[in-house]
Structure 1
């Protein structure tokens, strides 16, 4: 495994990872309608690429193929953290989270935060994140539960 920076040519592969993570992994905690609102099959490719360019995610590659991605914003916010549903429980997410924590340390970030899905809460808790509040954001007209989580670093 190796970690590298995002390149615009990664956009389709990252959407495939995102879509699979939502529809295969998070599906146990969200219904069909919620998954479709969160990760629609028919999506705005330009908006997706713009989001990725803005977020500048780190990409985990395995055998030259993207298998996970996550970003870390300058304010310590993690907007996206997704691992391919084809590679569950292989340490890819842990490898990526360790990289984010290392980057946060190098940049003297005092706090990390993320709006975390029900499915990902145990993973984030394993890395020392704690629940700040439960939330019910509306995405494409559909309510999706998530949790604001923080991790204090300094």
Structure 2
């Protein structure tokens, strides 16, 4: 069954958290230490707060059948804040599908630039999608632990018209 996208629902808090946690702990382990991974994605989460954050942004989920396998979002100020894909479906185009949908929404909103804060792990995928690095953040701190990342952006061409 092909992966499809749909808007975030209130019932997606736990499955999107599970995708996030698996992506950070498994995929992120290539580029971050166990201490960094624990700070970035602790074992315990407040699902109510997590769900509010997802609902506050324009969030899409990728589903395979009825299983959530990825998600991404766009905040009102043009930040692609979250892009996470379950390791089970990594490398299958799910991230590209999500980012292309987010960029489409950004264009519909009339945005001319989308920014993101990419992990070391996600940076190559964002670069393949046209994002460029603005700066490296070697001293990005999460829960008292240094978790380096990159500020990146993609300029959106003006719509013809």
**Shorter-chain TM band:** over 0.9
CA RMSD of aligned residues (A): 1.1
Separation in 2, partners of 1:114, 1:85: 21
Matches within 5 A, 1:13-92: 13-92=15-94
Separation in 1, partners of 2:58, 2:97: 18
Match of residue 127, structure 1, among 126, 129, 132:
129
Matches within 5 A, 1:99-138: 99-135=101-137, 136-138=139-141
Deviations 1:65-84 (A, max 9, x none): 11110001222111111001
Separation in 2, partners of 1:57, 1:100: 9
Secondary structure in 1 matching 2:74: coil
TM superposition score normalised by structure 2: 0.91
**Is contact 2:13-2:48 (8 Å) kept?**
no
Where does structure 1 differ by over 4 angstroms across 4 or more consecutive aligned residues? none
TM superposition score normalised by structure 1: 0.95
Secondary structure in 1 matching 2:43: coil
Deviations 1:70-107 (A, max 9, x none): 00122211111100111111111111111112112222
Separation in 2, partners of 1:121, 1:103: 21
Structure 2 regions of 5+ residues with no counterpart? none
Structure 1 regions of 5+ residues with no counterpart? none
Q: How many residues align?
A: 154
